Amino acid sequence: MVLSKMTNVMFQLTSSYLEQLFTSPVKTKAISSCIINSLGNLLAQKISGAKTINRESLLAFAMFGLIIGGPVPHYFHSLVHPFVKNPLMVLLIERCLYTPCFQVLTLYMLAVFEGNTHNDACIRVKKLYLPVLLANMKYLTLLQYLNLNYVSPMIRDLVVNMISFFWIVYLALQWSKEAKSKQAQK
């Protein structure tokens, strides 16, 4: 009985999400990205053994998701998909052009949202960019390929959200590790 109620709740939430995605895609993606980024950062802090929650990091990841992490990918795909129909070409454009630029933007804006200066943000980007980009290419390319080729367009965003959650956990762990090494050097 409890399982069927949980299933009903999950179907209702999914249905509501898909409806909002259809009627207000940018707003829905921004809010869901904010939630996913916040939860991913929170989990990463717990995994790393933080005794207290780093609110600056949590807020930075949330703001990034709300302002950039939801809307920018939406507009990128809205611009590409009308012109490029082949999923392999979309993947190639995304991996070769969009991903390197988006990773720079991600790392820079996270640093800025944490309250760092431009120079400090650039230093963090320089330290983290290559390892994060290589990990993204290594781990997410196949998942993106499968998503673009085999997942119905209607639920692609749900799949991307699941992938994003784990990516944000990884990114937040790298972010935290770099911050700790920076503090140890002082």
Contact at 8 Å (CB) between 124 and 178?
yes
Mention every residue, 6+ apart, whose C-beta is less than 8 A from residue 38: 58, 61, 62, 65
Q: Predicted confidence band at 7 (pLDDT cuts at 50, 70, 90)?
A: confident
Q: What's the pLDDT tens digit per position in 68-125?
A: 999 999 999 999 999 999 999 999 999 999 999 999 999 999 999 999 999 999 999 9
* Tokens, residue 119: 């120079």
Looking at the chain, the whole-number percentage of residues with pLDDT higher than 90 is: 79
Task: Determine phi and psi for 81, rounding to 5 degrees.
Answer: -60, -35
- Can you give the three-state secondary structure of 116-183, one letter per residue? CCHHHHHHHHHHHHHHHHHHHHHHHHHHHHHHHHHCCCCCHHHHHHHHHHHHHHHHHHHHHHHHHHHH
- Comparing CA positions, the residue from 47, 40, 88, 91 lying closest to residue 64 is 40
User: What is the chain's mean pLDDT, rounded?
Assistant: 93
Q: Which residues of 146-165 are buried (b: 16+ CB within 10 A; e: fewer)?
A: ebbeeeeeeeebbbbbebbe
